[in-house]
Structure 1
Amino acid sequence: MLRVAYIDHTARWSGGEVALYNILTHLGSNVDPLVILAEEGVLADRLREQGIQVRVITLNEKVRNRNRNVVNMQIVSAAFQLLSYGRRLARILKEEQVVCVHTNSLKSAIYGAVAAKIARIPLIWHIRDYIGEPYLKPVVAKAIRLMSRILPNGIIANSNSTLNALKLPKSKKTLVVYSSFANAINPASNVTVLKQKFTVLLVGRLAEWKGQHILLEAAKSFLPDQHVQFWLAGDALFGEDVYKEELLRQIDVYGLTNVTLLGHVDNIQELMQQADLLVHTSITPEPFGQVIVEGMAAGLPVIASNEGGPTEIVVHGETGLLITPGDPALLARSIRTLLGNPGERRRMSEHGMKRVQEHFVIERTVIQITSYYEGLISNIN
């Protein structure tokens, strides 16, 4: 059995942490996980409920929440704190007889590298972010690409789009493994049923690059027809409260009575059972798009941006529509196209569920990752 340490700087219930939870709760008997988090939170609580060992080693809040794109004098102080934190983790890795470190975020990749190098054990970076503009400043993206060549023994990416953005040499041991669906595939009962309301759902944390404002612009053209309603599930998580206020002002100024901000929703699958269509509106390349997989598993046709990870999930014209991001008029026309064609929605629903079953189930992901561990460790030893 492999004793693997999984390291993350946050315990908030966000996309990368949900994906990590799904992996950890389906590992089976080949891996003995130790999870090391830099804060208490929902992820820690839920992992403990599943009997998974969690250790919280608190990292300074200012360092933990530091914006990845801020380059100023405080970066020196933050670097020293990450170095010190990594040394603390190295002692734990040795005590716990860990044979491999698997980091789950960009911040944890840095201090995880310090810990793994001191403990002299293999290091894997799991990259879930798009390493490039406009998501990252050029200087930051360049630094991460350089470190990704030098520090980790291996790289796992959540899509081919994410991996390609790193621009790694062919000699680097890499694996593309999709963030997978871990529940029963269960179609929404109302995808093609005639109802008084047609519900368009967008799920994701409130952040400008996620493009919620684009959906609000599109929703304006549906105001005369109260038959169509728009639900936005998610909240501001990482210092994005200003954007949330902008969305609220947009709703107020436009008089969008057909839009509801639901805030954080615990049971997304239950919410999807009440929807008719899922939209995904990221205006910069999405690293993957886990919520798209969840929507397809619920039998929802999907409209998503034709850049980044969504292009590896949605088959245009078969499981949904891929459209140019940042275009509210195009988004509105695409919604109307599917709104007026229940037969097409039914066909997309069936193909979407089949595609999830064939490519995006958690069992497939776990097999790929554990095999990757074994190959990486044996090659180093």
Structure 2
Amino acid sequence: MANPSDYAILQVLPQLETGGVEQVVIELTEAVARTGARALVASLPGKLVPAIERAGGTHIALDLKSRNPFRMSWAGDQLAKLIKSQKISLIHAHSRAPAFAARSASRRCGIPFVTTYHGAYNQHGLLKRRYNAVMASGDRVIAISQFIAALVRERHHIGDDKLRIIPGGVDAVRFDPDAINGGRVERLARAWRLPDGAPTVMLPARLTSWKGQSIAITALAQLRHRDALLILVGSAQGHEAYLKSLSDLAQSLDVAKRVLFAGDCADMPAAFKLADVVVSASTDPEAFGRTIVEAQAMRRLVIATDHGAAQETIRAGETGWLVAPGDPAALAAAIDDALDLPIEARIARGAAARDFVSARYSVAAMQAGNLAVYHELLG
């Protein structure tokens, strides 16, 4: 039997900047390195490259982001060279454009090809359907929720011989409210200039329209709790026009002084601990929704839109609330309900939420599931 050090796993994605997919890549890098195998990641550089290196991996700067067919062909050539030079055993694609190059290179070099279907990916038009289909062309296709598994079966007719359901996970040690010292929370509160005692509603997501920040701002204007603050945590990532539209909306609804655009946050456990309520207002269904799970691990009161994987990661009425997508009035009513809860009920619901996600959504289980797929293909 080969030693683990004889194997090398290469993960590919567009860029190591920020987001749930990038965090999964880091966690899988750590899991592969822990086995003694070599863990490599190819992408454009970004601020998360040091995290790959801390996890025991090696980052290779390569432009796999372009959707141009000629650039994809070039990227496939570069990956084939990399597979040969680094003696790669298996390649794992986490995004569509890199998956085309990875599939081409894996076939040329005769190594297994794995994909993780991270999104619900809209299907408007024949070209988009063909573009999405690459994520279902792996020797194994990993779905990150039951919702995504059902979508893959329906769209691509993938059977259980190839499809594996491996939900995302939360690090229950990092996201442990009892482990977050007061200094971390106070530093963040000072940096954000939060007033003492005001109810705090947080929406953690990159600033893009389908994440529902405009819905949350509109809901804020309809709350009975007129002193509540809304903190939008997430980078605009160049979407300055959208950022301005949100600011203009807050001004028009006379809630600008109650909306904080916090940008990226390096200490999300402390950020969650500052929040009374955490909201996911996505108008499109979430494929998994990592922040929903992380907030529940932190015993926060969580409200999400009633579609996609949120129907799996929240037990409505027990660990959180589910509301109709795109409905500011419904979101406002749920936030008011959450803020109305007496302290004993908040504690009980928070404890139920942490117990629920700790039992079902651990990083260790996600890592073990992916390693099992690699073992399955590598024998």
Which aligned pairs between 1:1-381 and structure 2 lie closer than 5 A? 1=4, 2-27=7-32, 29-30=34-35, 32-59=37-64, 64=65, 78-132=68-122, 136-144=123-131, 146-149=133-136, 151-166=137-152, 167=154, 168-170=157-159, 172-184=161-173, 185-187=175-177, 196-222=197-223, 225-226=226-227, 228-237=228-237, 240-256=239-255, 257-342=257-342, 343-378=344-379
Q: Provide closer, same or farther for how the CA distance between residues 217 and 65 of structure 1 changes in structure 2, counting only shifts above 3 A.
A: farther
Q: Is the 8 A contact 1:5 1:101 kept in 2?
A: yes
Q: CA deviation at 1:358?
A: 0.6
Three-state SS of the structure 1 residue aligned to 2:219 is helix
Tell me the C-alpha RMSD between the 2 structures: 2.1
Three-state SS of the structure 1 residue aligned to 2:48 is helix
Three-state SS of the structure 1 residue aligned to 2:37 is strand
Q: Is the 8 A contact 2:66 2:72 kept in 1?
A: no
**1:74: which partner in 2?**
none
Q: Provide closer, same or farther for how the CA distance between residues 93 and 65 of structure 1 changes in structure 2, counting only shifts above 3 A.
A: closer
**2:186: which partner in 1?**
none
Q: Is the 8 A contact 2:200 2:275 kept in 1?
A: yes
Runs of 4+ more than 3 Å apart: 26-29, 144-149
Deviations 1:125-175 (A, max 9, x none): 11111033xxx42434421454445x3111011112122222233255111
Q: Is the 8 A contact 1:90 1:115 kept in 2?
A: yes
Structure 1 stretches of 5 or more lacking a match? 67-77
Structure 2 stretches of 5 or more lacking a match? 183-195
Q: CA deviation at 1:49?
A: 3.2
Three-state SS of the structure 2 residue aligned to 1:273 is helix
**2:189: which partner in 1?**
none
Deviations 1:197-227 (A, max 9, x none): 111111000111111100000011238722x
Q: Provide closer, same or farther for how the CA distance between residues 368 and 49 of structure 1 changes in structure 2, counting only shifts above 3 A.
A: closer
Q: Provide closer, same or farther for how the CA distance between residues 222 and 148 of structure 1 changes in structure 2, counting only shifts above 3 A.
A: closer
Residue type of the alignment partner of 1:113: R
Deviations 1:175-207 (A, max 9, x none): 1112211251423799xxxx7211111100011
Three-state SS of the structure 2 residue aligned to 1:202 is strand
Q: Is the 8 A contact 1:106 1:127 kept in 2?
A: no
Whole-angstrom CA distance in 1 between matches of 2:294 and 2:229: 20
Deviations 1:239-293 (A, max 9, x none): 5332222111112222212111111111111111111111100001111100111
If each structure's helix is expressed as a fraction of its own residues, which one has the higher value?
Answer: 2
Three-state SS of the structure 2 residue aligned to 1:9 is strand
Three-state SS of the structure 1 residue aligned to 2:101 is helix
Q: Is the 8 A contact 2:39 2:56 kept in 1?
A: no
Deviations 1:91-141 (A, max 9, x none): 111221211111111221111111111111010011111033xxx424344
Three-state SS of the structure 2 residue aligned to 1:130 is coil
Residue type of the alignment partner of 2:223: F
Residue type of the alignment partner of 2:332: A
